Amino acid sequence: MDSREAKDDLDQIREAQSAAATVGVRGVGWFLVIWGAVWLIGLSLSHFAPGSWLLWVWSLLLIAGSVGSSIVGVRMGREIRYADTGPRQASLYLLLVAFGALWIVLAAPSTWEQVAVLLISFVGFGAATSGILIEARSLVIIGVVATVATVGVYFLLFPIFGLVIGILGGGGMIVVGSRLVYQRSRHG
């Protein structure tokens, strides 16, 4: 192999890595938009809607978020293979959901706000753990900051907890996700 062939091979490798990064970041952006919308709608409605509606509202939102995430995941899977981290992260989140459901049953929270704080802390733990697994410090920071902020809002702004977390958490995810999708689609 001469130096020109080696350079061409390296260029192809760099191009493939760039394409994989673009798909991965765009996918993360779409996940943030989907789940940000779930949080924004669900937590805002939880603040205003009667308690008898909450199970139905959240059930529908979680189904819609799961379907949207599945569609994005399948599309990403066609474009990029996550041979090392994908299956491990999927297993982590499945275990997190199972243990989270068990802990909610065992803790028996008495208000939807308590359930929300527990669930957000589970998601924060999942993000931080994923960050450790894939060596992404930003995920660790996001998981810890989101959990600490949620607990702070719960204790300091309890009467408007749903609105604050819905707007800041859900709205924040939508903004960040939209930026990731837009930036990568414009540049990639």
Cβ–Cβ < 8 Å for 174, 37: yes
Calculate the average pLDDT of the chain. 79
**Which of 12-26, 141-155, 173-187 ranks highest by mean pLDDT?**
141-155
The boundaries of the domain holding residue 115 are 3-187
Dump pLDDT digits (tens) for 38-90.
999 999 998 888 888 888 998 999 999 989 988 887 777 655 555 555 666 67
What pLDDT is attached to residue 19? 43
Dump pLDDT digits (tens) for 122-140.
888 888 887 787 777 877 8
pTM (global) more than 0.85: no
Q: How many independent structural domains does the chain possess? A: 1
